[in-house]
Amino acid sequence: MHVERCAALHLSTDPATALPLFSPEGERRWVAGWEPEPLHAPGGTLSASGAVFRTRADGEETLWLVLAFDRERGRAAYARLTPGSRLGTVEVELEADRAGGTRARVTYRLTSLSERGAAALSELTPDAFAGWIAGWERDLAACLAESGA
């Protein structure tokens, strides 16, 4: 099974301030329980192309590879593998809006590797994905409000 889901969210800050929030380290500020474990950090950072890290959530381990973290273009892209379950990519593209904020487009492309993976992906309906990303928007807004950005 393969799914591709895309949704947009709005942030009340400029893209240069927003992009670091989509880095492995930056997500710690707004994703509860997000604890990326560095496996390879070129130049000492997980925000460099080629960086590798691991996360654990809901009883699963996921391995991540940073494909791109482009500050000039406002783009972050990752490959992710949940062994024995699913494989895919995550892409975040940012653009400034007319009000001085940022529109973020989030795209997940995932393929199941097993029945367990297919079951997980079958739950990622378009409505479920939109709701999940709406949660991101709320959490990011709270994070930005806390930091005064």
Could you give all domains of the chain from N- to C-terminal order, each with its CATH number? 2-32+69-147 (3.30.530.20)
Residue 140 pLDDT: 97
**For 124, what's the count of Cα atoms within 13 Å in the CB-facing half-sphere?**
20
Residue 126 pLDDT: 98
**pLDDT tens by residue, 68-107:** 999 999 999 999 999 999 999 999 999 999 988 999 999 9
Residue 114 in this model has a pLDDT that exceeds 90: yes
Residue 147 pLDDT: 84
Gap between the Cα atoms of 105 and 15, Å rounded: 12
Residue 111 in this model has a pLDDT that exceeds 90: yes
**pLDDT tens by residue, 16-59:** 999 999 999 999 999 999 999 999 999 999 999 999 999 999 89
Residue 1 in this model has a pLDDT that exceeds 80: yes
Residue 54 pLDDT: 98
Residue 149 in this model has a pLDDT that exceeds 80: no
Gap between the Cα atoms of 19 and 14, Å rounded: 9
Sheet holding 52-57, edge to edge: 2-11, 102-112, 86-96, 75-82, 60-70, 52-57, 37-40
